[in-house]
Structure 1
Amino acid sequence: MSLSNTLVVALLLSLIIIFVLHYTNKKFLPGPRGLPILGNVFQLDLNRPWVSYAEWKKIYGDIFQLNMAGQPVLVLNSQKVVEDLLEKRSSKYSSRPKWLVASELTGYMDLPLLQYGELYRRMRRASNIALGIKISSNYHCVQFEQALMLTHGILDQPDRWNFHVQRASISTMLSILYDIPPIQSLSDPRVIFMENLVDQVSRALLPGAHLVEIFPILSRLPLFLSKWKRDAHRDFQNSSKVFEDMFLSIKDKFVKGPEQPDSFSSTLAETQRRHGMSDLECAWLAGMIYTAGQETTSTTLKWFLLCMTIFPHIQKKAHEELDRVVGRARLPSFSDMKHLYYVRAIAKEVLRWQVQLPLGLPHATTEDDYYEGCFIRKGTVCIVNIMGLHRDQQIYGPDADEFRPERYLNDEGMIKDENNDGHFAFGFGHRTCVGRHVANNSLFIMIATVLWAMTISPVKETNGNSIKPDLGGELGIFWRPRPFKLLTKPRFDDAEILIQQAWDDIH
């Protein structure tokens, strides 16, 4: 053996010894034993992984570690562990895993997926100003208009309720972001573009969708051997052109001086220089806010409608509160929000009972850490079993599996804690949903207006028996209800007339 070969072998042996010594002296968190190399990949219920996590919690405790083909994954199964790591140590636990395909598709500018760093902090600060609690009331007019259109649509065409929910949630976000007038059709080119991009990114995030996510070393292949990367670069360029055109159409108006209607993009244009963001970064920030906001609103509304068909006693209590606070001579408004405690509790309970992202979006550690004497490696993926937390009896009591809005109310029938969502649907730490105040406002006014105007019930079979919706969800990144049918009828004589009058006023 030549001297050079001897030196190479000696160096490799030294590195192996250093690696082994570094990790063999560490105590790791417990977890299920897996297969060589593949680890626990085939032990998960991929359709409902939170069920596997709940079972493993009984064996390994509130936090345990999995090996997913060499990638260490922590599963956080209790509120205490979540608060200890994602809240109190947020500086170490606020990054994201490296989703290679989704990141290339979005030019590494998708705020929800972005790794924790300078660009993330700049985008986050800009979003806080344009969507924060202080400015959220600027969007009330848009949200009320869409609530009215949604209610009119469902009341007039209950068999097309899914279309009306999609249209209202899409139109709400496009109006808030770009001051676009109400969308009437899902065939609108802007809608098609946005929804296609959402689908592209969602598919890229599915486990096993791309080989390069399983074997990241493939990302180092030259471009001519990486079709996925060529496709992603092409799609990124095409999307960038559309997003820049949409943002710059707002910015150009702002620069010319006339006062512009309130929108996310107009506020972004006004504060762009302060945050040191390019036009391209602003354009992608607005576009990616759409994906998160539209999905939260539409999925939650679908679960809300399902719940109302199953739990008529809940609906009846909401009707009684609406009659008491609003009456039957006018529609609900945002000024009623502070008095409609039960309606707000329904929105909270829908977000808890059937959360749209049962496992949230994973976090990733940016440095080595220790928790309760156990070593957590830099680059470890952290998954919160949100569905499990939402059904945790230690947090929500022995009836945690039940749909019960009263859990958010005190003995006087008021919201127990006005400063707490009471659920974990909006994330944790530095990754808490930046648009949660706007989302809560949209959900409130839409739910309040729908319940004020109508009674929702399940369809019936020919023998008169009700067809109850299936409580299972559809598979995918988001937990959506399976297709179901419902019936609606005006709740009182003047309801349809008042809705129609208000509808005519905005047309």
Structure 2
Amino acid sequence: MLLDQLLSSHNLGLWHVGASLLALASIALVADYAYMLYMRSKLVSAICISVVLPPGPFPWPVVGNTFSLPDNKPWIWFEELSKEYDAQLITVWIGRNPTIWINDAWAASEIFDKRAGIYSSRPRMLVFAELGAGQDNLLNMYTTTAEQRDRWRVHRKLIHYGVGIQSVRRYREFQNNESRLVAYDLLKAPDDYVKHFERYATSVVSIIAFGRRVESWDDPIITEVIAMMHLAADLNVPGKTFPMLMETFPFLARFPNAIAPWKYGLGKKRNFHFFYALADEAAKKEGHEDSFVNYLFSERSKHSLRDAEISSLTGNLFGAGSDTSSSTLITFILACCAFPEAVKPAWEELNRVVGSHRSPSWEDEDDLPYIKAFVKEVLRWRSVAIIGGQPHAPTQNDYYKGWLIPKGAWVQGNIWAIHHNEREFPDPDRFNPNRYLPGHPDSRPFPGEKGYMTFGWGRRVCTGQALAEQGTWITVARILWAFNIQKKKGPDGKPIEVDIFNYTNGLNMRPQPFECSIMPRSEEIRKTIEREGMQALEELEQYRGETKYRMSTFYSRDDLAMDLYGDGKS
């Protein structure tokens, strides 16, 4: 009897404890949700004005809008929300955190460029940053304290030496020769155009970084690095599947990798890194003392650079210049196939200014306004960094047209929406270089002199912008001059259609594989391509070299590449 009473009392006690815990959890959930709703309609009582977050779908407790995100291409959904709410900015809740998406060019310019001083920091990025390179990487660095700003300026100064506006002009000679080789390779194996573009873009960056070129498209530094770049790009696209689901449920990142398959190897610490190994190897070789890695090692003591920082600075060159540049050139080929009417004026201009006995050169740029417009339209039509690169975060509460942008919030520019706004770009999916010809009826006002926002904004603008623009111009001009690019014909003699919307889903998007025909425009041009290609090989001989390292020595494919950028500090 006594035992029964004791057991009954014990069970009753457990029930009370359980009920109390459940009640506390419910109260905490309600309080947390109330805070989310409060943030959604925050009141600034001091001036009696209701200041709210930008409009957006109603969030659920804990998960916010995470499970409303589409499986693919969320930037299109953000654009649709902006139209639905008739708002330049919209709010989408990733778990308990509001993310602000800017879908308008003028708003992006006002916020990111004109207020760059308070939008140069980064928000908390659990997957890409904390489980990746952390604060050793320029891409992720916070600038909320004086110490952080000082470190960020050091990295920015170092990377500007490598690919800043004043630096890239000294690369024109070998960049031009590598571009000549692209035309030569396309002449010999046109079906392998993707591989040729990847080799070209990676080789240019490799010469800058290490003083040696990449000769073959199957060099592991291409195949492995670009594959890992694609994987890394997926880690910055908001989603409802792992690993990005950890942004909604950050406690999942605390589990050890051994029992957390959803982490995909993120957060592993390593003592030695692929890009540091490449840098150290190149710095110890004689010759090419003006390479970027030699500069980094010469500045190492002055700035107290750690191995992980040298690794990330070197890796960032590849991140900014290999996958992105090659993807832009693939988009260029797609545009030529889908919109042949845009190519004919380019041929007319090139025939008049350049002729067939030589290919275009830097000196021709001012005399080729349509080619310049063509390149701008390539960069606008299907921008590679489709959501503007990494998110910004204000260092203080900010307000735009009565909307609150909270301190530390994830704020991102939706390049897709910005470049597809009918106001600035009527019929936006049509490839139309006339948009960039001054005085043309198709031209519309746009903030900034460039007419596009492909490379981001403010103090976080892409560091490789000048190099990418320079290389894209000479290569697009040369390929337009050299080749007739068309849809490929099938066995029945009919053209095989291309899909201008069939793109990858990562942060750095590129067209899915498609077939095309690339043929020299004339026999005379074919001979010029061959002559200039052979000359380019001779002049690039000074950059011949190879490395003993392979990325696969340091990383497995399952590690998902964020350690690619640094030491994987979690």
How many angstroms does 1:411 deviate by?
A: 4.4
Q: 1:294 aligns with which of 302, 308, 322?
A: 322
1:201 match: 232
2:480 partner SS: helix
User: In structure 1, what is the Cα distance between the partners aligned to 2:289 and 2:527?
Assistant: 30
1:305 match: 333
Specify the code of the residue in structure 2 equivalent to 1:488.
I
How many angstroms does 1:229 deviate by?
A: 7.2
Question: Which contiguous aligned blocks of 4+ residues in structure 1 show a shift greater than 6 angstroms?
Answer: 16-22, 227-230
How many angstroms does 1:461 deviate by?
A: 2.7
1:470 match: 499
- Given that 1:45 and 1:51 are in contact with CA atoms closer than 8 Å, whether structure 2 keeps it comes out as no
Quick check: 1:354 aligned with 2:382?
Answer: yes
Specify the code of the residue in structure 1 equivalent to 2:496.
I
- Given that 2:199 and 2:215 are in contact with CA atoms closer than 8 Å, whether structure 1 keeps it comes out as yes
1:237 match: 270
Specify the code of the residue in structure 1 equivalent to 2:347.
H
Q: Deviations over 1:443-496 (max 9, x none)?
A: 111111111211111111334322221111333213211211111222122212
User: In structure 1, what is the Cα distance between the partners aligned to 2:453 and 2:355?
Assistant: 33
- Given that 1:130 and 1:268 are in contact with CA atoms closer than 8 Å, whether structure 2 keeps it comes out as no
Specify the code of the residue in structure 1 equivalent to 2:359.
L
1:68 match: 94
Cα distance change of structure 1 residues 399 and 421 upon mapping to structure 2, 3 Å threshold: same
Cα distance change of structure 1 residues 33 and 275 upon mapping to structure 2, 3 Å threshold: same
1:91 match: 117
User: In structure 2, what is the Cα distance between the partners aligned to 1:109 and 1:87?
Assistant: 25
Cα distance change of structure 1 residues 428 and 155 upon mapping to structure 2, 3 Å threshold: same
Quick check: 1:487 aligned with 2:517?
Answer: yes
Cα distance change of structure 1 residues 342 and 273 upon mapping to structure 2, 3 Å threshold: farther
Q: How does 1:452-471 map to 2 (within 5 A)?
A: 452-471=481-500
Specify the code of the residue in structure 2 equivalent to 1:93.
Y
Quick check: 1:78 aligned with 2:109?
Answer: no
Q: 1:431 aligns with which of 460, 472, 490?
A: 460
User: In structure 2, what is the Cα distance between the partners aligned to 1:219 and 1:363?
Assistant: 22
1:330 partner SS: coil
How many angstroms does 1:279 deviate by?
A: 4.4
* CA RMSD between the two structures: 3.3
2:517 partner SS: strand
How many angstroms does 1:48 deviate by?
A: 2.7
- Given that 1:321 and 1:340 are in contact with CA atoms closer than 8 Å, whether structure 2 keeps it comes out as yes
Of stretches 439-448 and 103-112 in structure 1, the one that deviates more from structure 2 is 103-112
Cα distance change of structure 1 residues 38 and 168 upon mapping to structure 2, 3 Å threshold: same
User: In structure 2, what is the Cα distance between the partners aligned to 1:31 and 1:229?
Assistant: 29
- Given that 1:139 and 1:262 are in contact with CA atoms closer than 8 Å, whether structure 2 keeps it comes out as no
2:531 match: 501
Unaligned runs of 5+ in 2: 1-19, 45-50, 539-570
Quick check: 1:342 aligned with 2:367?
Answer: no
Specify the code of the residue in structure 2 equivalent to 1:25.
L
Cα distance change of structure 1 residues 468 and 53 upon mapping to structure 2, 3 Å threshold: same
1:322 match: 350
1:155 match: 187
- Given that 1:131 and 1:264 are in contact with CA atoms closer than 8 Å, whether structure 2 keeps it comes out as no
Quick check: 1:363 aligned with 2:396?
Answer: no
User: In structure 2, what is the Cα distance between the partners aligned to 1:294 and 1:58?
Assistant: 35
Specify the code of the residue in structure 2 equivalent to 1:33.
F
2:90 partner SS: strand
- Given that 1:456 and 1:487 are in contact with CA atoms closer than 8 Å, whether structure 2 keeps it comes out as yes
- Given that 1:101 and 1:228 are in contact with CA atoms closer than 8 Å, whether structure 2 keeps it comes out as no
Cα distance change of structure 1 residues 108 and 57 upon mapping to structure 2, 3 Å threshold: same
User: In structure 2, what is the Cα distance between the partners aligned to 1:501 and 1:20?
Assistant: 66
Specify the code of the residue in structure 2 equivalent to 1:365.
P
User: In structure 2, what is the Cα distance between the partners aligned to 1:437 and 1:190?
Assistant: 23
How many angstroms does 1:202 deviate by?
A: 2.9
Q: 2:126 aligns with which of 92, 96, 100?
A: 100
- Taking structure 1 as the reference length, the TM-score comes to 0.86
Quick check: 1:165 aligned with 2:197?
Answer: yes
2:566 match: none
1:33 match: 58
1:218 match: 252
Specify the code of the residue in structure 1 equivalent to 2:473.
F
Of stretches 79-88 and 346-355 in structure 1, the one that deviates more from structure 2 is 79-88
1:445 match: 474
Larger Rg: 2
Q: How does 1:169-188 map to 2 (within 5 A)?
A: 169-186=201-218, 188=219
- Given that 2:342 and 2:431 are in contact with CA atoms closer than 8 Å, whether structure 1 keeps it comes out as no
- Taking structure 2 as the reference length, the TM-score comes to 0.77
Cα distance change of structure 1 residues 249 and 66 upon mapping to structure 2, 3 Å threshold: same
How many angstroms does 1:440 deviate by?
A: 0.7
2:75 match: 50
1:337 partner SS: helix
1:422 match: 451
User: In structure 1, what is the Cα distance between the partners aligned to 2:70 and 2:236?
Assistant: 17
2:119 partner SS: coil
- Given that 1:41 and 1:67 are in contact with CA atoms closer than 8 Å, whether structure 2 keeps it comes out as yes
Quick check: 1:190 aligned with 2:216?
Answer: no
User: In structure 2, what is the Cα distance between the partners aligned to 1:336 and 1:471?
Assistant: 30
Q: How does 1:15-30 map to 2 (within 5 A)?
A: 25-26=43-44, 27-28=51-52, 29-30=54-55
Cα distance change of structure 1 residues 410 and 474 upon mapping to structure 2, 3 Å threshold: closer
Cα distance change of structure 1 residues 220 and 182 upon mapping to structure 2, 3 Å threshold: closer
1:487 partner SS: strand
Specify the code of the residue in structure 2 equivalent to 1:143.
Q
2:296 match: 268
Cα distance change of structure 1 residues 87 and 201 upon mapping to structure 2, 3 Å threshold: same
Cα distance change of structure 1 residues 446 and 476 upon mapping to structure 2, 3 Å threshold: same
- Given that 2:273 and 2:311 are in contact with CA atoms closer than 8 Å, whether structure 1 keeps it comes out as no
User: In structure 2, what is the Cα distance between the partners aligned to 1:394 and 1:230?
Assistant: 42
How many angstroms does 1:322 deviate by?
A: 1.5
- Given that 2:370 and 2:433 are in contact with CA atoms closer than 8 Å, whether structure 1 keeps it comes out as yes
2:11 match: none
Q: Deviations over 1:7-46 (max 9, x none)?
A: xx9xx99xx7997998553531322223333332233334
Q: How does 1:247-258 map to 2 (within 5 A)?
A: 247-252=279-284
User: In structure 2, what is the Cα distance between the partners aligned to 1:40 and 1:20?
Assistant: 12
Q: Deviations over 1:395-426 (max 9, x none)?
A: 23x3434211121122499x999x83210110
Give the structure, 1 or 2, with the largest relative contact order (CA under 8 Å, sep 6 or more): 2
User: In structure 1, what is the Cα distance between the partners aligned to 2:427 and 2:220?
Assistant: 46
Q: How does 1:96-135 map to 2 (within 5 A)?
A: 96-103=122-129, 104-116=131-143, 117-118=148-149, 119-135=151-167
Q: 1:138 aligns with which of 158, 170, 175?
A: 170
Specify the code of the residue in structure 2 equivalent to 1:172.
V
In the alignment of these two chains, the number of paired residues is 488
2:559 match: none
Cα distance change of structure 1 residues 360 and 320 upon mapping to structure 2, 3 Å threshold: same
User: In structure 2, what is the Cα distance between the partners aligned to 1:313 and 1:201?
Assistant: 36
How many angstroms does 1:275 deviate by?
A: 4.6
